C-alpha cells in the first residue's frame, strides 16, 4: 500500500470540487474530491447506475444549490458527506469512497 500526491488542499478549498486522473498498476482511475464544512471527501467518478462519470463540466460535480453531488447523465443526487443516492434511478446505492488525506497543503490518495 502506498500514498500518491494528487494535488493541493488550497486548490481544492478554492474550487470546492476537483477531478483527478490517477495512474496505477491496474490502469487509470478517475476520482474527484470535495471540500465541504472543513472536511475532505473523495469518490470514484462513476455513477452506480450506469458507471459513467458524474460531472457535467470539468471539475463540476455539485448541483445548483451546492447541497448535493449530481450526475449529469440522469440527474441522480448524492449526499456530500457519504455519497448516498437520495434521488434518481440509483436510489439507495452510494458512490464508492476513496481514501484521501491532507498533509500540510498536499493531498494524497492511498493506493492499494
Query: pLDDT tens digits for 3-48?
Result: 889 999 999 999 999 999 998 888 889 999 999 999 999 999 999 9
17 burial via Cβ count (<10 Å: 0-12, 13-18, 19+): buried
50 has pLDDT over 90 = no
Q: What is the pLDDT of residue 3?
A: 87
pLDDT of amino acid 1 = 57
CATH assignment of the domain containing 61: 2.102.10.10
Q: Which range of residues forms the domain containing residue 100?
A: 2-111
Q: What proportion of the chain, given as a percentage, has pLDDT over 70? A: 98
**What pLDDT, on the 0 to 100 scale, is given for residue 24?**
82
* pLDDT at 110 (0 to 100): 84
pLDDT given for residue 111 in this prediction? 75
Q: What pLDDT, on the 0 to 100 scale, is given for residue 105?
A: 95
| Distance separating alpha carbons of residues 92 and 88, to the nearest angstrom | 9
Tell me the whole-structure pTM to 2 decimals: 0.92
Strand partners for 29: 22
Secondary structure (3-state) at 11 = helix
Mean per-residue pLDDT of the chain: 92
- Residue 11: phi and psi, rounded to 5, are -65, -40
- Structurally, how many domains does the chain consist of? 1
What is the DSSP pairing of strand 17-24 with strand 100-103? unpaired
Amino acid at each position: 500500500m502506498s500514498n500518491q500526491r494528487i494535488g493541493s488542499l488550497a486548490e481544492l478549498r478554492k474550487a470546492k470540487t476537483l477531478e483527478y486522473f490517477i495512474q496505477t498498476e491496474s490502469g487509470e482511475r478517475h476520482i474527484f474530491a470535495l471540500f465541504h464544512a472543513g472536511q475532505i471527501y473523495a469518490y470514484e467518478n462513476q455513477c452506480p447506475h450506469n458507471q459513467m462519470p458524474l460531472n457535467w463540466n470539468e471539475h463540476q460535480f455539485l448541483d445548483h444549490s451546492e447541497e448535493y453531488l449530481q450526475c449529469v447523465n440522469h440527474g441522480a443526487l448524492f449526499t456530500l458527506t457519504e455519497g448516498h443516492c437520495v434521488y434518481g434511478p440509483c436510489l439507495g446505492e452510494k458512490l464508492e469512497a476513496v481514501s484521501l488525506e491532507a498533509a500540510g497543503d498536499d493531498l494524497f490518495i492511498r493506493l492499494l
